[in-house]
Structure 1
């Protein structure tokens, strides 16, 4: 029988334990339940889009839904990872690291919004707790409005 060495977090690691590491690795960065529901509802309204795509090729950030011809980028943000003012609760363990991580995510979100808007994109952001049908309706309305604007030009 072989002794299996106990997993230890490397110095300065984000993982405070092997269990925490497994838990954090299991968290999805795309195709979350809220994203899937909103996508299904938008698709049912006859709209087509790219999933988890870069709106701007040189910008190394992806939107959850991209309507490239009308320049609409949709983000469905998780309450924890994006610092929802309503639901974000700082963690009890390793709080300094995680709070900094969330603040960095929020700063990156604002920078992404600014860069996309500067390039003529409409950025739509929703929280994961918002009603999916309402999000889908807002997305459809925005896309259809942008299409109508393009036709006039």
Structure 2
């Protein structure tokens, strides 16, 4: 497991390249506020949008997840803990006002980028509208 890539995966890099090319700026491996040892893959801090790109094996993709036969009980518990941690992180971020976008590694980077751009743009426009209203 120590050889498994946990950040800068191919899926993450592809999405980040497209987001950067579209003119969006973001933070990489941003710490989850209020939760130790948890990170956001791509964070838009001004818009409070967290983008998490989950590996199919490690996070239990309904289409592609596999279950090792060797040491099956240990692996089942490990993968269930991963999924529980994902739910806990999503709930925490949502509670503190973030929009959480989760994607599977097998999703097309162009589709992921389009959804992220739409949500980030909407959140920034929403925040700008609130700031204008406060200034009146």
TM-score with structure 2 length normalisation? 0.93
The aligned runs of 1:66-81 (5 Å cut-off) are 66-81=43-58
Task: Supply the distance in 2 between the matched residues of 1:67 and 1:96 (Cα, whole angstroms).
Answer: 38
Equivalent residue, structure 2, for 1:126:
103
Root mean square deviation, CA, Å = 0.7
Within the candidate set 85, 105, 114, 2:62 is matched to 85
Offset of 1:55 from its aligned partner? Answer: 3.5
> Which runs of 5 or more residues in structure 2 are unaligned?
131-136
Q: What whole-Å deviation, never above 9, does each CA across 1:1-38 have from its counterpart, x for those lacking one? A: xxxxxxxxxxxxxxxxxxxxxxx211111000000000
- The equivalent of 1:141 in structure 2 is 118
3-state secondary structure, aligned to 2:59: coil
Partner-residue secondary structure (3-state), 1:91: coil
CA contact (8 A) 1:52 1:65 kept: yes
Structure-2 separation of matches of 1:41 and 1:99: 35
- Counterpart in the other structure of 2:35: 59
Structure whose CA Rg is larger: 1
Higher relative contact order (Cα pairs below 8 Å, separated by 6+ residues): 2
Distance apart, 1:139 and its partner CA:
0.6
Partner of 1:38: 15
Verify: 1:104 aligned to 2:44, yes or no. Answer: no
- Unpaired runs of 5+ residues, structure 1, are 1-23
SS of the aligned residue for 2:4 comes to coil
